């Protein structure tokens, strides 16, 4: 089995530092997703891992073997890493079967064994009937499966996927997400999945690394990213989160803290080492807020700035606070009706105190 | 620690480095030996002939009356010809690319054709245009009476022909810019109420400025280095230019004049680079917009459509039909100066040129094998070099690119002088010099035409998804295997186009080999000048006609493949 160890990786193109001190430790067989906006360096990270780019500092190890340091560089053709490219990179002049067989041919595997392996792999991805077709005659989903079959046939222990769903329409995506999950279960390979779509990342991966401007800002399980974001950036990026300011945060010692939000007392979750703070940022998701119907319950005053119908629920954008300067989002189960300008009262049921980078706490 | 560890370590390093480094090393060797080393030798011979810099010799030589006269002529003739070519080429590109002129495809083919005809043939054809045998002028009694000075034997004549000859270069560059012009920009101007003329003047011309100046730079380089036209017109007219000066001095004094000629060649190279730099600077803020999916809509010429179409075809009649029919007319008469009629008509010149004249036959066969050898070497080298330049950027790749571009941009005669200097002395291993043999010409072709072969192949790489190669690399395939299995199948049309371009250029070329030909190795390109100088004008015309026919056949034969090619790779396809 092959895990991936990335340690202190730096990479620059000219004056631009694309990757800064990137470190990741990925266990063998793990499905890891790299999530970040375009231009954050995630594709460069993949290309360094595959061996297409040399690195400026740090090192990369795959399966216990150092493959990249600034001084030594194992070329891609000797790393035994599979890559599913964004456009699949199927060779247009070869049939589906030839595309899958090419790597085996290069590896010098005898024809009979090669043919058997190609047939088996194509059966697995349900493309047996299309073996003689050219890539141009396939649909987007079928091309994707050929690209996966190519990795399966090579029995790559590490498979890198570069935004493989970015060019497909919405209908295909969920079907293909299942395809990746099945591929992972079948092959047991370590998967390294690059995407800018958090729904994809959270649904597929065992752990997600959130990248921003060349740095990994949090590497954790999907639910931890959602419930315990480490920075304001992660909090704002994942699950339509909002970052707002709370006052007088006092840890209660049981993983919770009391605080005041817009003058109302609230109970929040916090890190074990959280200290008392007079002000601090907290992460709130739409599901954490509740619309109060009883006028006598204490709650936060706000008014509706926009209400949009989302099918199963109604999404309300609210403005709260003394000068209506704190924006909040709220989901109200349908059927319901909220109008623009309507005054409402809301209660906060859950929230997370974002650890203050200035006062580091033990994790 | 001990010596025995070293060889095995070196071997391991080599194996680990793989064939990619080996290919890179071979490319560096190829370009270094054929482009960089001869040019460096030229610079050394020019500036330090005896190992020391002698400013007195340099100023004495460059300050001479003949050199100054030739330099001034070279500059103003090239600049004027460039302006003429830029005007004609830009107008043609706007007509063909933007207007709804009739029968554009055929017109583009005709407009680009002069570029494919060897310049010495063009010059010969124009000289014949005023002869009594010319079917167009001769039939109207407009041919020159014997004894009058030929109007083209003048500096103005050289400017005129160089301008016409290079107009297609500007045309191609401007047309490429027009193809990248985003349609919405024009549509927005039209919906703002601008008609065809204001749109062209205010929107199109500013946006394609980069293309116009890039074309002008090409036209300048081609004008200043055009030996065929400058020699065919300038030598009889006694209008010396740097190129003809180098040629005549080397012919009269032989290798003893080499060091001085190297200095003149260096001066010519300096002027060429200066002109290129100047045009690049003028067009520096050219718009570098990438392509848009939609091609701009054509602007209607309205009631001017018919007149403009007629005018455009009239231009072709003047530039193509007039000289070429005259050339054919001269090739079909028994003796020079006879009008073409039933009594004077003969195919003897063609029969002579094709079958009886041993010099022509030998020269043609030499040219043929040299050309085929150049194609056979340059296309594979370009595929490998294109790979490095497209997908393996770095300092070495950039250096290779500049060296090959330099060898192509510099006038062919400079490569000729450099090759003589480089190969004059006996080679270390063989023990005999290559000077005077066909091998020197082959070396010069390989050096001069590498960039020409490279261009379509770079176009092919630009259209290819790099991930195709990377996917193959991940399977463990080495560079040579990938080039064969993955790259070549996708690149085949571009490689073919590259072969066709090199073939068409090398088979008829004159400026590279004119200094290198000898009694032992004669090529067909300079043959026209030698025949014309020897007074065999009718035979020269027949050879010229055959060259044009060969070019036409190749151009037409390549047309069916144009759908498989990257756009703009073959200049004559629209």
pLDDT of residue B81: 96
* Contact between chains at B476 and A86 (C-beta distance less than 8 A): no
Closest residue, chain A, to B17 (C-alpha): A75
pLDDT of residue B144: 67
> Where are chain A's structural domains?
4-228, 240-353
CB A53 within 8 A of CB A11: yes
Lowest mean pLDDT among A101-115, A223-237, B45-59, B336-350: B336-350
Lowest mean pLDDT among B158-167, B196-205, B414-423: B196-205
Closest residue, chain B, to A76 (C-alpha): B474
| DSSP β-ladder status, A158-162 and A81-84 | parallel
Identical fold for domains A4-228 and A240-353, yes or no, is no
Q: How confident is the model at residue B356 (pLDDT cuts 50, 70, 90)?
A: confident
> Which one of A5-9, A230-234, A355-359, B326-330 scores highest in mean pLDDT?
A5-9
| pLDDT > 70? residue B484 | yes
CATH 2.40.50.100 is the classification of domain A240-353: yes
How much is the average pLDDT of B33-43?
Answer: 89
pLDDT of residue B9: 54
| pLDDT > 80? residue B570 | no
Percent of chain B with pLDDT over 70: 89
Size of interface A-B (CB pairs under 8 A): 65
| pLDDT > 80? residue A353 | yes
Secondary structure class of B7 (helix, strand, coil):
helix
pLDDT of residue A178: 83
Lowest mean pLDDT among B69-78, B389-398, B537-546: B389-398
| pLDDT > 60? residue A144 | yes
How much is the average pLDDT of B325-343?
Answer: 80
What is the biggest distance separating any 2 CA atoms in chain A, rounded to whole angstroms?
A: 80
pLDDT of residue B285: 57
Sign of the C-alpha dihedral computed for residues A352, A356, A357 and A359 taken in this order: negative
Measured between its terminal Cα atoms, the distance across chain A in Å is 30
Q: Which of A83, A90, A106 sits opposite B476 (nearest CB)?
A: A106
* Contact between chains at A93 and B490 (C-beta distance less than 8 A): yes
Mean residue pLDDT across chain B: 84
* Contact between chains at A85 and B490 (C-beta distance less than 8 A): no
Percent of chain B with pLDDT over 90: 23
Q: Count other Cβ atoms within 10 Å, centred on residue B461.
A: 22
pLDDT of residue B521: 84
Fold of A4-228: Rossmann fold (3.40.50)
| pLDDT > 60? residue B240 | yes
**Interatomic CA distance for residues A156 and A29, integer angstroms:** 11
| pLDDT > 90? residue A27 | yes
Closest residue, chain B, to A78 (C-alpha): B476
Ramachandran class of B331: left when φ > 0, alpha when ψ lies in -120 to 50, beta otherwise? alpha
* Contact between chains at A83 and B470 (C-beta distance less than 8 A): yes
How much is the average pLDDT of B522-547?
Answer: 87
**Interatomic CA distance for residues B315 and B563, integer angstroms:** 29
Q: How confident is the model at residue B269 (pLDDT cuts 50, 70, 90)?
A: very high
* Contact between chains at B474 and A85 (C-beta distance less than 8 A): no
The 10 Å CB-count burial string (b at 16+, else e) for A114-133 is beebbeebbebbebeebbee
| pLDDT > 80? residue B414 | yes
Q: How confident is the model at residue A94 (pLDDT cuts 50, 70, 90)?
A: confident
* Contact between chains at B471 and A87 (C-beta distance less than 8 A): no
Helix H, strand E, coil C: the string for B78-97 is HHHHHHHHHHHHHHHHHHHH
Closest residue, chain A, to B471 (C-alpha): A89
pLDDT of residue A171: 75
B218 alpha carbon, distance to own chain's centre: 9
Q: How confident is the model at residue B166 (pLDDT cuts 50, 70, 90)?
A: very high
Closest residue, chain B, to A153 (C-alpha): B475
> Which one of B9-23, B256-270, B339-353 scores highest in mean pLDDT?
B256-270
| DSSP β-ladder status, A277-284 and A242-251 | antiparallel
* pTM > 0.80: yes or no: no
Chain A residues within an 8 Å CB radius of B475 = 77, 102-103, 106-107, 154
How much is the average pLDDT of B366-374?
Answer: 94
How much is the average pLDDT of B201-224?
Answer: 88
CB A82 within 8 A of CB A156: yes
Q: Which of B465, B468, B473 sits opposite A77 (nearest CB)?
A: B473
Give residue ranges of A with CB < 8 Å to any B CB: 50, 52, 75-83, 85-87, 89-93, 102-103, 106-107, 150, 154
Measured between its terminal Cα atoms, the distance across chain B in Å is 67
CA distances from residue A90 to A63, A181, B468, B481, B492 in whole angstroms, order as listed: 27, 22, 6, 17, 18
pLDDT of residue A361: 44
* Contact between chains at B468 and A52 (C-beta distance less than 8 A): no
* Contact between chains at A91 and B471 (C-beta distance less than 8 A): yes
Secondary structure class of A269 (helix, strand, coil):
strand
For the stretch A246-298, pLDDT in tens is 988 898 888 899 998 888 888 999 988 888 888 889 999 988 888 888 777 78
| DSSP β-ladder status, A31-35 and A207-212 | parallel
Q: How confident is the model at residue B7 (pLDDT cuts 50, 70, 90)?
A: very low
More confident residue, A179 or B183: A179
pLDDT of residue B3: 41
């Amino acid at each position: 089995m092959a895990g991936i160890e990335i340690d202190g990786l730096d990479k620059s193109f000219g004056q631009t530092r694309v990757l800064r001190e990137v470190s990741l430790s990925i266990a063998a067989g793990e499905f890891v997703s790299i999530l970040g906006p375009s231009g954050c360096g995630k594709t460069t990270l993949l290309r360094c891992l595959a061996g297409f780019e040399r690195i400026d500092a740090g090192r990369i190890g795959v399966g216990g073997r150092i493959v990249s340091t600034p001084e030594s560089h194992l070329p891609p053709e000797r790393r035994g890493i599979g890559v599913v490219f964004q456009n699949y990179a199927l060779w247009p002049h070869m049939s589906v079967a030839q595309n899958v067989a090419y790597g085996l041919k290069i590896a010098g595997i005898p024809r009979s064994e090669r043919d058997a392996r190609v047939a088996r792999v194509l059966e697995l991805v349900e493309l047996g009937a299309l073996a003689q077709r050219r890539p141009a005659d396939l649909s987007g989903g079928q091309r994707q499966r050929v690209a996966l079959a190519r990795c399966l046939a090579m029995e790559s222990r590490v498979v890198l996927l570069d935004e493989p769903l970015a060019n497909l329409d919405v209908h295909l995506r969920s079907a293909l997400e299942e395809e990746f999950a099945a591929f992972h279960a079948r092959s047991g390979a370590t998967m390294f999945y690059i995407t800018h779509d958090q729904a994809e990342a959270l649904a597929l991966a065992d752990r997600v690394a959130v990248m921003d401007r060349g740095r990994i800002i949090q590497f954790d399980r999907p639910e931890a990213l959602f419930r315990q974001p480490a920075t304001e950036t992660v909090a704002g990026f994942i699950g339509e989160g909002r970052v707002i300011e709370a006052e007088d945060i006092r840890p209660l010692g049981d993983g919770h803290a009391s605080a005041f939000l817009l003058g109302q007392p609230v109970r929040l979750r916090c890190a074990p080492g959280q200290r008392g703070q007079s002000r601090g940022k907290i992460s709130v998701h739409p599901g954490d807020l509740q619309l109060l119907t009883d006028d006598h319950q204490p709650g936060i005053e706000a008014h509706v700035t926009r209400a949009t119908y989302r099918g199963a629920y109604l999404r309300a954008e609210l403005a709260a606070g003394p000068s209506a300067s704190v924006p909040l989002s709220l989901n109200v189960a349908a059927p319901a009706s909220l109008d623009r300008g309507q005054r409402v009262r809301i209660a906060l049921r859950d929230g997370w105190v974002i650890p203050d980078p200035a006062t580091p706490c033990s994790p | 620690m001990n010596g025995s560890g070293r060889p095995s370590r070196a071997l391991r390093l080599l194996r680990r480095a793989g064939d990619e480094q080996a290919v890179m090393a071979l490319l560096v060797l190829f370009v270094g030996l054929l482009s960089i080393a001869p040019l460096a030798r030229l610079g050394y011979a020019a500036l330090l002939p005896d190992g020391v810099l002698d400013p007195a010799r340099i100023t004495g030589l460059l300050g001479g009356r003949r050199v100054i006269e030739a330099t001034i002529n070279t500059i103003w003739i090239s600049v004027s010809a460039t302006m003429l070519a830029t005007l004609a080429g830009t107008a043609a590109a706007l007509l063909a690319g933007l207007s709804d002129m009739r029968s554009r495809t055929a017109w583009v083919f005709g407009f680009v054709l002069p570029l494919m005809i060897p310049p010495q043939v063009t010059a010969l054809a124009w000289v014949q245009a005023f002869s009594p045998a010319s079917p167009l002028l001769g039939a109207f009694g407009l041919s020159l009476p014997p004894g009058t000075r030929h109007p083209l034997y003048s500096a103005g004549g050289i400017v005129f022909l160089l301008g016409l000859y290079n107009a297609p270069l500007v045309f191609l560059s401007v047309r490429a810019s027009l193809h990248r012009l985003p349609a919405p920009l024009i549509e927005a101007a039209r919906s703002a109420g601008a008609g065809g003329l204001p749109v062209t003047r205010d929107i199109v011309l500013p946006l394609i400025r980069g293309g116009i100046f890039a074309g002008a730079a090409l036209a300048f380089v081609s004008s200043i280095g055009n030996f065929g036209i400058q020699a065919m017109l300038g030598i009889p007219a006694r209008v010396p230019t740097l190129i003809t000066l180098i040629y005549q001095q080397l012919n009269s004094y032989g290798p003893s004049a080499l060091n001085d000629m190297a200095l003149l060649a260096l001066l010519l190279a300096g002027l060429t680079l200066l002109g290129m730099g100047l045009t690049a600077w003028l067009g520096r803020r050219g718009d570098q917009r990438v392509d848009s999916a939609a091609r701009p809509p054509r602007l209607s010429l309205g009631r001017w459509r018919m007149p403009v179409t007629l005018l455009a075809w009239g231009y072709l009649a003047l530039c193509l039909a007039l000289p070429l029919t005259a050339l054919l007319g001269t090739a079909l008469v028994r003796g020079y100066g006879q009008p073409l009629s039933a009594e004077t008509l003969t195919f003897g010149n063609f029969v002579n040129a094709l079958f009886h004249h041993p010099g022509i036959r030998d020269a043609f066969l030499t040219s043929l094998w040299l050309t085929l050898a150049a194609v056979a070497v340059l296309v594979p080298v370009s595929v490998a070099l294109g790979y490095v330049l497209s997908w393996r950027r770095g300092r070495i790749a950039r250096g290779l690119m500049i060296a090959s571009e330099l060898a192509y941009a510099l006038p062919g005669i400079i490569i000729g002088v450099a090759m003589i200097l480089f190969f004059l002395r006996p080679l270390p291993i063989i023990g005999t010099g290559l000077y005077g043999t066909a091998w020197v010409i082959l070396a010069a072709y390989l050096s001069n035409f590498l960039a020409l072969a490279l261009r379509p192949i770079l176009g092919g790489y630009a259209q290819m998804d790099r991930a195709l190669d990377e996917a193959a690399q991940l399977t463990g395939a080495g560079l040579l295997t990938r080039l064969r299995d993955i790259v070549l199948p996708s690149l085949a049309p571009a490689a073919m186009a590259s072969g066709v371009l090199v073939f068409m250029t090398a088979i008829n070329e004159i400026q590279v080999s004119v200094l290198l030909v000898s009694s032992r190795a004669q090529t067909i390109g300079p043959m026209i000048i030698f025949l014309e100088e020897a007074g065999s004008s009718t035979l020269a015309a027949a050879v010229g006609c055959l060259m044009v026919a060969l070019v036409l056949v190749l151009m037409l034969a390549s047309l069916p493949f144009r759908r498989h090619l990257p756009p703009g790779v073959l200049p004559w396809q629209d």
